[in-house]
A and B are shown apart, each in its own frame.
Chain A
Amino acid sequence: MNNFENVPHNDQTDDTTVDYNQYPDASGHFGIHGGRFVSETLMAALEELETLYYQVKQDPAFWQEYHNDLVNYVGRPTPLYHAKRLSDEIGGAQIYFKREDLNHTGAHKVNNTIGQALLAKMSGKKRIIAETGAGQHGVATATIAARLGLECIIYMGADDVERQKMNVYRMRLLGAKVVAVESGSRTLKDAMNEAMRDWVTNVDTTYYIIGTVAGPHPYPLLVRDFQAIIGKEARLQHLEKTGKLPDALVACVGGGSNAIGLFYEFLNDTDVKMYGVEATGDGIETGRHSAPLAAGRVGVLHGNRTYLMADDDGQILETHSISAGLDYPGVGPEHSFLKDVKRVEYVGCTDKEALHGFHEVTRKEGIIPALESSHAVAYALQLAKTMSPEQSIIVNMSGRGDKDLHSVMKAEGIEL
């Protein structure tokens, strides 16, 4: 597994015999990616969480409770909506939105926090910490903590605190303490560093709810499993509506939890094409972007091996995206693996293209998408044009855009 002679890069070939459900392997690896790269103090907590999760993974009662919460508290299943007006206008493939924006708290993030909160409860820990970029994971965590009566601390980059004021206020209303992280680039990666530091210090009493499919094993596994509900529903809904599987799936990729959530159930359906859309910011060529799969290299950050944006000395590069939720220099290890085996095609949209997608969907469908989701939308609009009206695309509408109005107004020079 770990032959340091050649840490392989993206030179693996297309392998249609891969059973995607067997990843991660027993040691938490997705091919060369994933694993558990943390300081010794956290090892026991991760092993404990792994043991607990492998137990509950087999326990129908656990999943029953999880699904009850999803139905009665979150409002699932979310609809699969046919964006007919948009599709007609393009004249290409039919576009369907998986409406994760209709979940309680406004994004897919809550699927994972509900699941991990159950794990926290079972582990007997009374203090919850989380990191957040755009604030959606922070809001979802603060919400669940309020519901369960747990202490909650949310780490957020100081720049993100500034551009996501409304979500910061929501978290505070919910009783969470929001800590603005001033170090480094003052965005999501620094929030994650600070959450790790807190966890190391308070590991006996604290459960760390990681918000994306990154971090040390078993987080990429369990977050994926909790988000897989998106694809399970979407698959059934699409079959019901059209009698066939979709031709393509499109989702934005920062850490990549909404994308894995949509993709996972379809991975072994090799006729379904998948596109993960990274934030190319001002354009890959400018260096101001958040696209480690397109322009990164394999390295180790935040407990896992994956594609990263790093310089020749291995220092992590600063990222840029108009969307705080995509402003992260790494990506979940399963995405890195899916890139290497060429199961998913990773593409990009710039800030400008995302804004175009944002306005198109708002005006044509009456849905204001999150800037994260707007990246997926923007790519789907381009993709649909290359397809026929008999074909279909499912786009993950991962979250709603209320939180981003401030960023959109700023980008467009609008004052109220």
Chain B
Amino acid sequence: MTRIESTFETLKAQNKKALIPYVMAGDPSPNSFVDLLHGLVKHGADMIEVGLPFSDPMADGPTVALAGERALAGGTSTHQALAMVKKFREQDSSTPIILMGYLNPIEIIGYEAFIALCHESGVDGVLVVDLPPAESGNFVERLAAHDINKIFLLSPTTLPERRKQVMTHCGGYIYYVSLKGVTGSASLDTQAVGEQVQAIKQETNLPICVGFGIRDGQSAAAIGQYADGVIVGSELVKNFSGLSHTSRAEDIATAQANIMTKMDELRQALDALSA
């Protein structure tokens, strides 16, 4: 059983919803990042999605795209991002880490080398935004050989037939994209998401987590009624806007504290559902 699978089992037994924050590796500075991860766990994260910075993040809105630019400006490469995960793992052996990024850095590093790095660093899941099942060859199996889940996206535009097809490749959990658009978009239609999540649940035993457009306790709770977990990215990441790897440690600490306040709000809202 992978760390993601066992985490969901525990949550289910406790009747709890997963809170999954997304942060960009190395944002705003490489030095502050591992502390940020530990902070997120302390403030209620059940798992963490760690963004791998990429120069051309086509599926991300401005908030996450700028986070990537900050991380790259601070020198965070894919190797360094994985080194940060490894450092986090030294003190936390239980919280699953899911990498979320784009294919090109993986393709250039080489699949085998990338998978080996993930394994060595204690990565539990990999989500590659622009790698659909049809192009992923035996990537899923080769990750699975190292107990790493490949996470795929389903979206409101995914037709039922394709949905079935995609789900045969999914592991860990299904990431349901709540809306058409990029990360951080507005206009979340909770009811439509609920219907979709319920339809997907008919066809799989995998947990379903919903991301894109969740910005506060209220929207997290609204989605949490239906889903097994919520993923919150832009709303957290935006606290780092205006900072960089050269910013004063105090300013970075203040931004991190604001993120933790948000995490507390989200955690409480989700826990209220199971109360």
Residues of B with C-beta under 8 A to A298 = 107
Q: Contact: A300 with B104, CB < 8 Å?
A: yes
Question: Which of B54, B103, B158 is close to A44, meaning CB atoms less than 8 Å apart?
Answer: B158
Q: Contact: B177 with A312, CB < 8 Å?
A: no
User: For chain A residues 1-32, which have a beta carbon within 8 Å of chain B?
Assistant: 1-5, 7, 27
Q: Contact: B135 with A310, CB < 8 Å?
A: no
Does A200 belong to the interface (CB within 8 Å)?
Answer: yes
Known: A37-B131, A203-B157. A316 touches B137 (CB 8 A): no
Q: Which of A157-165, A223-231, A301-309, A355-363 faces chain B?
A: A301-309
Does A189 belong to the interface (CB within 8 Å)?
Answer: yes
Residues of B within 8 A of A (CB): 53-59, 61-62, 65, 69, 72, 77-79, 102-112, 129-132, 134-139, 142, 152-159, 162, 166, 177, 180-182, 185
Known: A43-B132, A184-B55. A314 touches B180 (CB 8 A): no
Q: Contact: B65 with A183, CB < 8 Å?
A: yes
Flag A42-86 by CB within 8 Å of B: 1 or 0 each. Answer: 111101000000000000000000000000000000000000000
Q: Contact: B129 with A315, CB < 8 Å?
A: no
Q: Contact: A44 with B157, CB < 8 Å?
A: yes
Known: A4-B137, A4-B138. A189 touches B162 (CB 8 A): no
Measured CB to CB, the closest approach of chain B to A240, in angstroms, equals 44
CA distance A204 to B181 in the complex (A): 11
Q: Contact: B130 with A300, CB < 8 Å?
A: yes
Q: Contact: B104 with A299, CB < 8 Å?
A: yes
Known: A300-B130, A315-B55. A4 touches B78 (CB 8 A): no
Known: A4-B111, A314-B78, A315-B72. A200 touches B182 (CB 8 A): yes
Measured CB to CB, the closest approach of chain A to B26, in angstroms, equals 12
Residues of A with C-beta under 8 A to B134 = 27, 36
Question: Which of B109, B155, B177 is close to A314, meaning CB atoms less than 8 Å apart?
Answer: B109
Instruction: Give 21 pairs: A residue, B residue, CB < 8 Å, sorted on A.
Output: A3-B138, A7-B110, A27-B134, A36-B134, A37-B130, A38-B132, A40-B152, A40-B154, A43-B155, A43-B158, A44-B159, A183-B65, A184-B55, A184-B56, A197-B182, A201-B182, A202-B180, A301-B56, A313-B108, A314-B106, A315-B53
Question: Which of A2, A200, A302, A316 is close to B136, meaning CB atoms less than 8 Å apart?
Answer: A2
Closest 3 CB pairs of A and B: A314-B105, A2-B137, A314-B108
Measured CB to CB, the closest approach of chain B to A12, in angstroms, equals 18
Does A382 belong to the interface (CB within 8 Å)?
Answer: no
Question: Which of A3, A37, A183 is close to B103, meaning CB atoms less than 8 Å apart?
Answer: A37
Does A270 belong to the interface (CB within 8 Å)?
Answer: no
Residues of A with C-beta under 8 A to B132 = 36-38, 40, 43
CA distance A200 to B78 in the complex (A): 26
Does A196 belong to the interface (CB within 8 Å)?
Answer: yes
Does A268 belong to the interface (CB within 8 Å)?
Answer: no
Measured CB to CB, the closest approach of chain A to B14, in angstroms, equals 30
Q: Contact: A314 with B157, CB < 8 Å?
A: no
Flag A85-107 by CB within 8 Å of B: 1 or 0 each. Answer: 00000000000000000000000
Residues of A with C-beta under 8 A to B78 = 313-314
CB-based nearest A residue for B110: A7
Measured CB to CB, the closest approach of chain A to B68, in angstroms, equals 10
Measured CB to CB, the closest approach of chain B to A234, in angstroms, equals 35
Measured CB to CB, the closest approach of chain A to B33, in angstroms, equals 17
CA distance A316 to B69 in the complex (A): 12
